[in-house]
Homo-oligomer: A and B are copies of this chain.
Amino acid sequence: MVTLSEENYLKAIYHLGKQGSVVVSTNAIAEQMETKASSVTDMIKKLADKNLANYIKYQGVSLTKEGRLAAASVVRKHRLWEVLLVEKLNFSWDEVHEVAEQLEHIKSEKLINELDAFLNYPEEDPHGDPIPDKEGNIKKVEKILLSQVDENQSCICVGVKDSSTDFLKYLDKHHISLGTSIKIISKEKFDESMTINVNNALINISKIVSNNIYVKKG
C-alpha cells in the first residue's frame, strides 16, 4: 500500500524529473513540497525500500518503473478530478487545484475509470496539461511559450506553465483562456514585454506573463 504522503513525494519526483525518469536532488524535492530536506531523506528511503524509487546516498533519486506508474496514476486522478470540477461542478480553473490535491488520493480503480468515461475520456485538464492514461502514458503536444513567438505571428493559447490562482485570475481578467487566439503586435527589446491582440483588444504583457503561457501556431 502506498500512503498518502508517499503519493505526494512520488508526484513531486515525477514532476521535477520529467515524468520521473531523471535524477532529482533532495533539496529540489524539499522545495517543491515545502518541507525540510531531512524529511525528504527519510521518505526517499521508504520509497526505495518499497521499490518505488532508485536512491543513491548523496546522489539523488529517480523513480522506478513501478514508482513512475504510481506517480502517473496520482497525476491522472488529479487531472481527471479537475475536469469534473470545471465541466460539471462550476469550478473555475483557478479553484480546482486545492480540491484536486485531496481527491487525487481516493483509492478506487472503478471510480477513476468511470469518471474517465463520464467525462468522455478527456486528454487534458483545465490548464491544458495532459492526462496520463491507465498505463501512465501521456500525449506529448506541440507547444511553445508565448515569449518565443515572433512579432506579427498569431497563435492559440493551449496551456499555462504557472497555474497559481494569481496568474490564472490575471489571465481571466484579460480574457485569456484555453483556445484564445493571440496575435503578437510588437515586442519591446529592453524589458521583453509584448503587446498582443486578444479578442480585438490590445494589451501589454510582461516577459513573466509571456513566459508562462503555452501556445501553438495558428
Q: Looking at chain A's contact residues, is the secondary structure mostly helix, strand, loop, or mixed?
A: helix
Closest B residue by C-beta to A106 = B102
A170 on interface, CB distance cutoff 8 Å = no
Tally of chain A residues near chain B (CB < 8 A): 18
Taken together, the copies of this chain in the complex come to 2
Given A91-B111, A99-B111, A102-B108, output 18 extra A-B contacts at Cβ < 8 Å: A88-B118, A89-B111, A89-B114, A89-B115, A89-B118, A90-B114, A91-B110, A91-B114, A95-B110, A98-B108, A99-B106, A99-B108, A99-B110, A102-B106, A102-B107, A103-B103, A103-B106, A106-B106
Which A residues are within 8 Å of any B CB, using their own CB?
85, 88-91, 95, 98-99, 102-103, 106-108, 110-111, 114-115, 118
Selected A-B contacts with CB under 8 Å, 22 pairs: A85-B111, A88-B118, A89-B111, A89-B114, A89-B115, A89-B118, A90-B114, A91-B110, A91-B111, A91-B114, A95-B110, A98-B108, A99-B106, A99-B108, A99-B110, A99-B111, A102-B106, A102-B107, A102-B108, A103-B103, A103-B106, A106-B106
